[in-house]
């Protein structure tokens, strides 16, 4: 009997030890484990819904606001006046947020001959405005709206021609890239100024609340504008105008980091992409053009809806990594470092402590971006400056979740205009500061290249 008690006691102690170890493991998993791309806001879902997960740890009111924002993100707008979702256009690019950011993922270039849906074009002329912003083109503003509501003429259409560029690997094999050349056509009115067109594909929109919460100091610490350390990489921040602060702020959103906050990014989207005026951008994009409806009406979107959509965008979690421990992925990760991809695609950051927003406060995330601008060479250039970004500079995009693109969006088009038809093509388009990385990639064997791609697909 006595022996039995002793046995149970020892067994209990062992169980307790195992249990406390496991608890310790889970903690470590959350804090330092690369499976958890989005820290506490990581979701183990590889389905088509992988980019649409509400943050953990929100209170009931916050959950409600997220849901209202989610509905508004999906809402199809119609031309004014209408009882619901009124104010589309008169000119616009698409009718809802989700029609471009499909499943909270990315858009795609049009199938030849079909309408442009999630690829849009910014436009501007020479010079810079008071705060460094692009200068609008007379009669066109800073974006081409390619659709008009009933009876209203769109601003223009775009013709795409492709040029082939062959990239040779050291092992003798090759890949043919398609370089798009864009041309305005069917203009509603001639343009008599120099103009610069910038193609922009709708990027994925999950995890943005975490990117917004990376401390500014952590981002600018990676700048090296004069390349003082001589590694050929000279990332720089984009200082852009923040309408809410009425001051300059660090740009984080958009392909050139032209927007400082999620609020400003989405307010601009309502106005420019959908023609829906709102508290932050209250003047119709068509103001002073023939398409303008002349109604001096109230703003078309309520502040409460705008803030719900902002909150929805701020509280979408990040998919967990997949197949992270397979030999090929481990090899690919090592190669990623030896190719120096991580000098721009910086693996991890820790978000700032924020007592007013605990769900995104202080956690280690793995976005694989520095959120800085880099010269990516002539072939990727749009020649259109945006604040401190010049015509060859682009912001390093986050790579988290990129391996789920085909699952979520049913295609594999990458880069700012979707010209790359695979991850490998995206790498082969890298030039400028990333030229050396690309060349190192081209020197790899077929097996090594596949390992790099497997690693990217595991993100």
Which positions from 200 through 219 interact with ligand HEC, judged by CB under 6 A? 200-203, 205, 208
The residue among 258 and 319 lying less far from ligand HEC, judged by its C-beta, is: 258
Work out what residue 280 binds among ligand HEC, Ca ion, none; the CB cut-off runs from 5 to 8 Å by kind: none
Work out what residue 208 binds among ligand HEC, Ca ion, none; the CB cut-off runs from 5 to 8 Å by kind: ligand HEC
Q: What is the DSSP code string of 262-297? A: HHHHHHHIIIIIH----SSS-S-TTTTSTT-----P
Work out what residue 413 binds among Ca ion, ligand HEC, none; the CB cut-off runs from 5 to 8 Å by kind: none
107 touches Ca ion by CB under 5 A = no
Measured at the CA of 385, the angle between CA 282 and CA 219, to 5 degrees, comes to 85
Question: How far is the C-alpha of 108 from the C-alpha of 54, rounded, in Å?
Answer: 25
- Using DSSP, state whether 157 is helix, strand or coil: strand
Question: How far is the C-alpha of 443 from the C-alpha of 104, rounded, in Å?
Answer: 36
Q: What is the DSSP code string of 11-67? A: HHHHHHHHHHHHHHHHHHHHHH-TT-TTGGGEE---STTTT--BPTT--HHHHHHHH
227 touches Ca ion by CB under 5 A = yes
Measured at the CA of 209, the angle between CA 207 and CA 213, to 5 degrees, comes to 120
Work out what residue 154 binds among ligand HEC, Ca ion, none; the CB cut-off runs from 5 to 8 Å by kind: none
Which positions from 132 through 151 interact with Ca ion, judged by CB under 5 A? 140-141, 143, 145
The residue among 31 and 231 lying less far from Ca ion, judged by its C-beta, is: 231
The residue among 40 and 70 lying less far from ligand HEC, judged by its C-beta, is: 70
Please report how close the Cβ of residue 99 comes to ligand HEC at its closest, in angstroms: 6
Please report how close the Cβ of residue 261 comes to ligand HEC at its closest, in angstroms: 10
CA proximity to 225, closest of 444, 95, 92, 372: 372
Tokens 């997960």 -> residue:
53
CA proximity to 396, closest of 169, 246, 214: 214
Work out what residue 158 binds among Ca ion, ligand HEC, none; the CB cut-off runs from 5 to 8 Å by kind: none
Please report how close the Cβ of residue 220 comes to ligand HEC at its closest, in angstroms: 16
Convert residues 151-190 into a mask of x (bound to ligand HEC by CB under 6 A) and - (unbound).
----------------------------------------
Q: Find the binder of Ca ion among 97, 98, 120, 233 (CB under 5 A).
A: 233
Question: How far is the C-alpha of 211 from the C-alpha of 214, rounded, in Å?
Answer: 5
Candidates 258-266, 273-281, 313-321, 451-459; binding stretch for Ca ion (CB under 5 A): 273-281
Question: How far is the C-alpha of 356 from the C-alpha of 353, rounded, in Å?
Answer: 9
Residue 420, beta-bridge partner list: 414
Convert residues 76-95 into a mask of x (bound to Ca ion by CB under 5 A) and - (unbound).
-----------x--------
Q: Find the binder of ligand HEC among 154, 233, 318, 371 (CB under 6 A).
A: 233
Please say whether the beta carbons of 250 and 236 come within 8 A.
Answer: no
255 touches ligand HEC by CB under 6 A = yes
Work out what residue 124 binds among Ca ion, ligand HEC, none; the CB cut-off runs from 5 to 8 Å by kind: none
The residue among 6 and 274 lying less far from ligand HEC, judged by its C-beta, is: 274
67 touches Ca ion by CB under 5 A = no
Q: 42-43 and 318-319 as β-strands: parallel, antiparallel, unpaired?
A: parallel
456 touches ligand HEC by CB under 6 A = yes
- Report residue 440: phi and psi, to 5°: -65, -40
231 touches Ca ion by CB under 5 A = yes
């Amino acid at each position: 009997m006595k022996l039995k008690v002793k046995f149970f006691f020892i067994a209990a102690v062992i169980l307790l030890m195992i249990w406390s170890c496991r608890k310790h493991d889970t903690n470590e998993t959350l804090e330092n484990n690369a499976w958890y791309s989005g820290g506490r806001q990581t979701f183990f879902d590889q389905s088509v819904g992988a980019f649409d997960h509400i943050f953990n740890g929100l209170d009931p009111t916050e959950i409600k606001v997220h849901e209202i924002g989610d509905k508004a993100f999906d809402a199809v707008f119609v031309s004014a006046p209408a009882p619901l979702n009124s104010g589309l256009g008169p000119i616009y690019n698409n009718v809802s947020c989700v029609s471009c950011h499909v499943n909270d993922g990315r858009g795609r270039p049009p199938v030849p001959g079909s309408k442009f849906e999630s690829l849009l074009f910014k436009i501007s002329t020479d010079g810079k405005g008071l705060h460094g912003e692009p200068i609008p083109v007379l009669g066109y503003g800073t974006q081409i709206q390619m659709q008009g509501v009933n009876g209203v003429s769109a601003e223009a259409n775009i013709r795409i021609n492709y040029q082939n560029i062959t990239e040779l690997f050291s092992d003798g094999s090759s890949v043919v890239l398609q370089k798009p050349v864009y041309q305005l056509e069917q203009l509603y009115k001639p343009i008599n100024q120099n103009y610069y067109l910038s193609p922009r594909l709708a990027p994925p929109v999950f995890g943005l609340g975490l990117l917004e919460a990376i401390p500014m100091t952590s981002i600018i610490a990676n700048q090296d504008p004069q390349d003082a350390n001589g590694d050929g990489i000279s990332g720089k921040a984009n200082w852009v105008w923040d309408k809410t602060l009425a001051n300059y702020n660090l740009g984080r959103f958009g392909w050139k980091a032209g927007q400082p906050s999620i609020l400003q990014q989405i307010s601009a989207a309502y106005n420019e992409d959908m023609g829906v005026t709102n508290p932050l951008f209250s003047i119709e994009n068509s103001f002073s053009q023939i398409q303008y409806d002349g109604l001096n009406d109230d703003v078309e979107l309520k502040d409460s809806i705008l803030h719900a959509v902002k909150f929805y965008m701020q509280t979408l979690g990040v998919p967990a990594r997949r197949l992270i421990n397979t030999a090929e992925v481990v090899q690919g990760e090592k190669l990623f470092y030896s190719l120096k991809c991580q000098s721009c695609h910086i693996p991890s950051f820790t978000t700032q402590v924020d007592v007013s927003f605990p769900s995104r406060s202080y956690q280690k995330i793995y976005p694989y971006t520095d959120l800085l601008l880099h010269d990516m060479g002539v072939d990727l250039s749009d020649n259109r400056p945006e604040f401190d970004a010049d015509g060859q500079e682009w912001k390093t995009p986050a790579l988290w979740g990129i391996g789920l693109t085909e699952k979520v969006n049913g295609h594999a088009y990458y880069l700012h205009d979707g010209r790359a038809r695979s991850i490998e093509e995206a790498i082969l388009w890298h030039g400028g500061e990333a030229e050396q990385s690309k060349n190192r990639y081209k020197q790899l064997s077929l097996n090594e290249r596949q390992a790099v791609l497997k690693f990217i697909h595991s993100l």
